[in-house]
Every structure is written in structure tokens, then in C-alpha cells.
Structure 1
Amino acid sequence: MMKKAVFSILKENVLFVWRIPSFPVLFLLNFIFGLSTSFFVPFSSLFGIDEVGMSNTAFGIFMTLLAIGGVSISSLIAKRSDTSISRKRLLILTSLTGVLGYTFFAFLRNYFALAFTAFFLLGATAASVPQLWAYARDILRENNMPSSKTPLIMNVFRMFFALSWTVGPALGAWLLLTIGFKGLFLMVAASHLLALLTIVLLLKDVAKQVLTDKDKIKVTRWIVKPHIFVNLAAALLLSAATSIHMLNMPQFVTKVLNGSEMDVGVIFSVPPIFEVPMMIAVGVWATRTDNALLVKIGYGLAFTYFLLLGFVTEPWQIYPLQLISAAHVSITAGLAISYFQDFIPEAPGTATTLYMNVTKIGSTVGYLLFGLFSEFISYENMINIYSFFAGVGFLIFTFFGNEKIKCSRSKPKVQEL
């Protein structure tokens, strides 16, 4: 009876979000963008170090340039999205750069040509997901959805991104084994082309809240607020830990544990299988519980997951640990964006990009540290470094994020967007 009740609640909430205008199309786009990401990210270090022949340091610099391009270009796009240019046009632009960028990745093997492509084309492509999420918030505002429902809606929305990762890494590993990196990147380019056609044919231009005070979109105005700065610092540290983990895991599995590329694909595919129901459950939970508390739990789970990885001696031992990974991702990836959007509800594009850019800066730090440290430290010992980062982030969020918790409790439970 309990299982039926849980299934009924999950079904009811998914159908509720599905009926929101434009959301079925947004679900499809979220899945497509997630699929393209899941084809590239798990195998990026294998591409740079093993396929192109970069040194670990050169690869770290390469990934750093990719992250810097994403931060700088998506920031410019975010400012435009909250003031003048429609999000649909920007989504068309960023999808087109994805088609071009990953097509070039399929054929280029020169380090500098790849770095140029990564910075400019994939840097622009990085704005696709934050703009899609900001577009979703505009749809909620247009349809007068209560803010109390936002965490649930956005978690269900994020679920479709996770769905793509249930099959993406394993499918990417199979493509890599059968047609190599050239075929893999052409598939990523094709997915962005599909996204481009979907946006052109099925998405409408949605009205945005007009900002009369241009100062509202200045990111520095918000970063200097103590409670925002503290939360962003914790997010940066967790992002750095996660990025080191993403680059280190394929090398750790193939070179330390003597696993295969398929092992890597399966390892990255396991968490999303459990993230899907967990995200809906967390979304329902978030309508009854302070988001700050849930995000804190997510940070604690991330630290626990990284810590336990240090005791692994066989590839299969990582599989059960992926349940913990799924739990922390279902909380931090699903709730964190709506949590930070609440800081600047009048400018969701800026708020979303602020959070994502901080996580990208964290990724930049992680990429650079991976490249520098892995030249001298074993992939096994790299786990200790990013476990430390996640632990410090958890402590910062736990002991210095109380102002946000108090603020959120003082607000009315239901506010109109």
C-alpha cells in the first residue's frame, strides 16, 4: 500500500508539471542537452590525455579555458537575456554554437585549435542550460504559479536532465568503443542540431519581467551580500571537488583499478537511474521543508561519497556508492538553482547564471588543480584532495549559512512569482 501511495504521489506531481504550458517541450530540450553533456563529460579526460596526447597539466589548462569561456560568454548572454534579447533567440544561438563546436571537436586534434573552439564556441554553448532554466521560470511567472511549488516543479524539470544520464554515459562508452571520438562528437553535434530545430519549431517567445533598474542585473551587487557570498563559496568548493572527481574517475578506473571505458560509462550511468525518483521525492519534500536544510544534507552526502571512494579497490565497488552520489546530486543539482533564484526573483536569468557561473569557476579551479596535481600525485590520492574540498564546503554551508535559513523562515510560505 505504501509503495502504491508513493507511486501515486510521484505520478500526480509529474503530471501536474507536465500540464504546465510549454513544459513538455522544455522537458525534451533538457533531455537533449543532458544527453549531449553525458556523451562528453565522462570521457573528456580520456579524450584530452589519451586521444589528443595532452600532458595532465596541458589538459588541466585546456579544461580551464573551456570553463572560463563558459563563464565569461554566458555572463554576457545572461545580461542580454534579462534586459533585451529574447531567451528563444539566445537558445537558438547557443544551440548553433554547440553544433559547430562539437563538429570541430570531431576532426581537430591540434591543441590550440581545440582550445580556441572550446573557449568561444563551447563557451557560448554553456549558456544553453541556464537560459533554459531561466525560460522555465518565466513560464511559471506567466502562468502565476505559487513560489511554494517552484522547488517541486524545478526538480521534476531537472529530472529529465538526469534521465538522459541514465543511458548517456553507457551509450557514449559504446559509441567510443565502436566509432571512436570522431563519431562520439558528431553524435553530440547532432543532438544540438535536434535541440536547435526543437527550439525554432516548438518554443514560443515568452514575456519577461521588465527591469527598470539596470543595477539589478549587476552581479557584484548581489555577491557582496554576506549570506549570498557564503553560500556561493560553499557552492564553489563543491563544484571544484566535483570537477576534479569527474576528470579523475575515468583515469582512476582505467589506470588504477584496471577497468575499461565501459566500466566508466556504467559508473556514470548508475546514479541518474536513482536520481529520477529521488528528485521528485526531494521536490515534494522541499514543499514542506526549508530548502536550506535540504541543500545542507546534499552537501553532507557529497562529502561522504567522496570520502568513501578512497577505500575502493575494484571497479564494481563503486557501483553501490553511486546511490549516495545519486542522493546528493538529486538534492544539490535539483534544489540549488531554485534556492539561488530566490535570492534575485526579479531577474531569474541573472540569478541562474550567477549560481552556474560560480559553479563553473569552481570547475575551473578543479580542472586546473587536477592538471597540476595529477602530474605529481597518483589518481588514487587525488580523491583525498577533492574529499577535503567537499568537506570544507559542507562546513562553510553548515556553520555560516544560517542567515539564509533565518531569512527563508521569516518569509511567507506562499508567494506569487
Structure 2
Amino acid sequence: MSSPLLIAMRNPVIRTSMIAIVLFGFSGAATSPYQSVVGITELGLSDGFYSALIFAAALFNVAVSVAIGIVADRVGNYRTLMLAVILCGVVGYGAVYLLPTKGSFVLAALMLLPVHGALNPLLFAYVRTAAKDMGGRHAAAVNSGIRAAISLSWVLVPGLVGLVLSARGSMLPAYLLASLGCLANFVLVLRLLPEKTGVDGALGKRLSFLASFGEILSLRVLARLLAIALISSMLHVTAAVLPLIVTGAAGGKVSDIGIIVGIVAFLEVVFIVVWGRIQYRLSHIDALALGTAIYVVNMALLGLSTERWHIYALTLISAFGAAALISIPITYLQELIADRPGLGSSLISVNVFLGAGFGAALFALGTRISDYSGTALLSSLAGVAGLLLLLFLDGDGRGKASAS
């Protein structure tokens, strides 16, 4: 049985899409870790203004992703829309580098780069249409391979960019690299990706914007989004509390944080592919439930960790569980509105936003009533709640059913 990466390499459309998603990941990985440094330290934005800016940008990204998904289904193809959103990345990143002012940074962060972020669900929708004849399990494996490509960018790029630019005294050149990455992506999509019909154009035109938003807000979809967001919130809480537990309760050093995060990120790439293979044998629901259970155990053990070696010992289970949580929900969410790839894939962005929101709320509540270790334990309970809701809704396999 072929691995998802081999499946991808044999299909020229999927192969090109994988390169496109790597370039997309490169642009984000080159700048996101240093965005606050550029905005606050180099350009002088206040902490409060920057926080509000990032929240508004995340909200705008969700709205744009859903709107573009609806448009993609209505027009029946994705290539032109992909070119448009990539161009926003070229201009947005380039403007910050060429015109390093508060105004250009705010314009890019609030509008241009959130639009560019819509490329992620667009590419997954495009790949879904290319893989639709391969069968559900093969399509899930391809999704895992594509998601692994993004993770690979995040393993390699941030450290290399930081190493190269640390001696320059400014992280602004990272935005030049990101703009060039977007430009390369624009040329790639323009030259190598054919127009790909997503759905029956008549179907898309029958569904207005209001009807499409109504489909997302239907109880059937919203309840499942809630379950996945609760599960995904554990990843966001981990990002917040892991460094604090390492240097606090576990008695580690700041240098341990980078090592642990690097180990987990590398293992995630491997395990994402492994989960793709697992889905040949298990349904999406069973695989996601297993991955969630593993990560719940990881969060509970993280909250109980009191020695540095405890955290290092958790890297394997953490990476294995996290790989499931960042890859399997992609296929699950797409299949909630299976007959509309653009709208279904936009649920990926909705889930990221909701998961981050739940994560922030759990962090605020946990640190108010307990400490960082207690917050990790609270997050594990949220993961259990999400898992139970998922099993209640889809434990009999109904989650694989498309929209009614």
C-alpha cells in the first residue's frame, strides 16, 4: 500500500499543490515567530494595540476564508482565487519590508495577510477535488501528506531565519523572504496548476451567501465544530503553558524550551504521515478519538510534571497525539459539507479561530483558579468534553456523512 507522500508524488496536480503549500508554509514560518518583534519592538506598536490587531486579523481571516470558499464553489474553480490571495501575500509582506511603518504593518497584518491566509483552505479544497476519485481513505492520506508539508516548513524555517538575521539587528528582511516565497508560489500556480472544477456550478449558484453561512451555523455543523474546537484548544493551551511549566514546575532552562519544541515539531512531521496510514484501517472518527485520547493523557501528564526529564519523556506521546489533532480534523471538517469543497474547507479556518478562542479562555480561567500545571489539567478536561461530544454525535459513524 502506498504512503500518502507517494500517492501525492504520482499525481502531478497534487504534487504541485504540495509544493504550493510548502511555499505558503515558508512565508508564514519565516515571519510569524517574529511578527510581534517587528510590530512592537521595531515599529513601536503598543502591546494593547498589537493584541487588538491580531484578534481583529484572526476574525477577518475567518470571514474571508468562508467568503472565498463560497465564491470558489459558486464559480466552480479555485486557481484564479488562489492567484488573487497569493498576490495579497506578495504585496502585504513586501510592503512591510519596503515601507517599514506602523501604517504599512497594520494594513498588511489586518487585511492583506489574512486574505493571503485563505490560501490554506483553498489549497486543501483544490486537493480534495483532485483526490475525490481516489476514495475517502486515500484522500485522507493525501491530506495528511499535505499537512506534513506545512509542518516541515515550521521545523526548518524559523530557526534558519532567526540564525541568519539575528546578527543584522532587524527581523524586517524576513518579510522580504516571505514576499519572495509568495512570488514563487504565484508563478508556480500560474504556470503549473490547471483550472479545477470543484462542484456543479448550478449547485453553487443555488446557494446564496446567507444560505451558505446558514449551513455553517446549522446545528449539525455547529455542534461538530464545537467538539473539534474543544479538542483543538488543547494545542493552543500547550503552546502557552509548556514554556512556563518547563521553566517553572519542571525546573528547566529557557534553552530546554527550544529543544523540546524542536523535537516535537520534527516528530509531528513523521507522525502525521503515520496517522495517514492509520486511517486506512480506522475511520476518521475512530482515528481522531484515539489521537484525542492520547493527547488528553499528554496534557494530564504535563500538568503533573515536576522534573525536566518528565517533559522530555512526553515529547513522543505529545508529538503522536498532536499529529492526529492537526491532520485528521481537516478531512473530518471537509466532509461536514462534502458536496461543497470550498465551503467545507473554510471550516478549517473557523476551527482554528474557535480553538484559539477556547484555548485563550481556558488559559485565563486556569491561571485565575490555579497555576500553569493546573491549567494543563483543566485543558485535558476540555479535551475529554470535546471527545465525548464527538463520540455522542458521530460514534456510530454518522460524522462521515456529508451535508444533508
Measured against the shorter chain, the TM-score band is 0.7 to 0.9
* Deviation per residue, 1:131-185 (Å, 9 max, x gap): 00000011123xx222232212221222222222231232233134233311222
Distance between the aligned counterparts of 2:304 and 2:286, measured in 1? Answer: 29
Distance between the aligned counterparts of 2:276 and 2:353, measured in 1? Answer: 24
Which is worse superposed, 109-118 or 392-401?
A: 109-118
**Aligned sequence identity (%):** 22
Q: Is the 8 A contact 1:292 1:404 kept in 2?
A: yes
Cα distance, 1:111 vs structure 2:
5.4
The 3-state SS of whatever aligns with 1:237 is helix
Distance between the aligned counterparts of 1:66 and 1:254, measured in 2? Answer: 31
Q: Is the 8 A contact 1:290 1:408 kept in 2?
A: no
The 3-state SS of whatever aligns with 2:134 is coil
* Deviation per residue, 1:175-226 (Å, 9 max, x gap): 3423331122222222212211211121111122215343386132243234
Q: For residues 286 and 171 of structure 1, do their structure 2 counterparts lie closer, same or farther at Cα, with a shift above 3 Å needed? A: same
1:80 to 64, 71, 84: 71
2:271 maps to which residue? 278
One-letter code of the match for 2:82?
A: L
Q: For residues 369 and 51 of structure 1, do their structure 2 counterparts lie closer, same or farther at Cα, with a shift above 3 Å needed? A: farther
Q: For residues 367 and 277 of structure 1, do their structure 2 counterparts lie closer, same or farther at Cα, with a shift above 3 Å needed? A: same
One-letter code of the match for 1:221?
A: E
1:6 maps to which residue? none
2:378 to 384, 388, 402: 388
1:120 maps to which residue? 111
2:155 to 159, 166, 169: 166
Is 1:259 aligned to 2:248, yes or no? no
Distance between the aligned counterparts of 1:299 and 1:44, measured in 2? Answer: 31
2:137 maps to which residue? 148
1:181 maps to which residue? 171
Cα distance, 1:386 vs structure 2:
5.9
The 3-state SS of whatever aligns with 2:336 is coil
Distance between the aligned counterparts of 1:103 and 1:387, measured in 2? Answer: 42
Q: Is the 8 A contact 2:87 2:183 kept in 1?
A: yes
Cα distance, 1:87 vs structure 2:
1.0
Distance between the aligned counterparts of 1:285 and 1:312, measured in 2? Answer: 30
1:218 maps to which residue? 212
Distance between the aligned counterparts of 1:150 and 1:69, measured in 2? Answer: 29
1:20 to 3, 6, 11: 11
Distance between the aligned counterparts of 1:402 and 1:347, measured in 2? Answer: 25
Cα distance, 1:331 vs structure 2:
1.1
Q: Is the 8 A contact 1:296 1:394 kept in 2?
A: no
Which is worse superposed, 211-220 or 74-83?
A: 211-220
Distance between the aligned counterparts of 1:251 and 1:311, measured in 2? Answer: 13
TM-score by length of 1: 0.80
Which is worse superposed, 236-245 or 349-358?
A: 236-245
Distance between the aligned counterparts of 2:100 and 2:244, measured in 1? Answer: 20
- The structure, 1 or 2, with the larger RCO (C-alpha pairs under 8 Å, 6+ apart) is 1
Q: Is the 8 A contact 1:42 1:246 kept in 2?
A: no
Q: For residues 165 and 336 of structure 1, do their structure 2 counterparts lie closer, same or farther at Cα, with a shift above 3 Å needed? A: same
Distance between the aligned counterparts of 1:103 and 1:254, measured in 2? Answer: 37
1:203 maps to which residue? 193
Cα distance, 1:57 vs structure 2:
4.3
TM-score by length of 2: 0.83
Distance between the aligned counterparts of 2:99 and 2:360, measured in 1? Answer: 21
Which is worse superposed, 385-394 or 120-129?
A: 385-394
Cα distance, 1:58 vs structure 2:
3.9
Cα distance, 1:74 vs structure 2:
1.6
1:406 to 390, 396, 402: 396
Q: For residues 173 and 369 of structure 1, do their structure 2 counterparts lie closer, same or farther at Cα, with a shift above 3 Å needed? A: farther
Which is worse superposed, 23-32 or 228-237?
A: 228-237
The 3-state SS of whatever aligns with 2:12 is coil
Q: Is the 8 A contact 2:27 2:182 kept in 1?
A: yes
Q: For residues 172 and 382 of structure 1, do their structure 2 counterparts lie closer, same or farther at Cα, with a shift above 3 Å needed? A: farther
Distance between the aligned counterparts of 2:167 and 2:244, measured in 1? Answer: 20
Q: Is the 8 A contact 1:233 1:393 kept in 2?
A: no
* Deviation per residue, 1:249-307 (Å, 9 max, x gap): 678879996525xx665444322322233222211211221211211222233333344
Q: For residues 399 and 368 of structure 1, do their structure 2 counterparts lie closer, same or farther at Cα, with a shift above 3 Å needed? A: closer
Distance between the aligned counterparts of 1:234 and 1:163, measured in 2? Answer: 27
CA RMSD across the alignment: 3.6
* Deviation per residue, 1:54-80 (Å, 9 max, x gap): 565444322211201211122221111
Which is worse superposed, 251-260 or 157-166?
A: 251-260
Cα distance, 1:358 vs structure 2:
2.8
Cα distance, 1:363 vs structure 2:
2.4
Distance between the aligned counterparts of 1:267 and 1:109, measured in 2? Answer: 34
Distance between the aligned counterparts of 1:410 and 1:79, measured in 2? Answer: 21
Q: For residues 315 and 61 of structure 1, do their structure 2 counterparts lie closer, same or farther at Cα, with a shift above 3 Å needed? A: farther
Q: Is the 8 A contact 1:219 1:354 kept in 2?
A: no
One-letter code of the match for 1:15?
A: L
Q: For residues 182 and 264 of structure 1, do their structure 2 counterparts lie closer, same or farther at Cα, with a shift above 3 Å needed? A: farther
List gaps (5 residues or longer) in structure 1. 1-8
Q: For residues 92 and 114 of structure 1, do their structure 2 counterparts lie closer, same or farther at Cα, with a shift above 3 Å needed? A: same
1:336 maps to which residue? 329
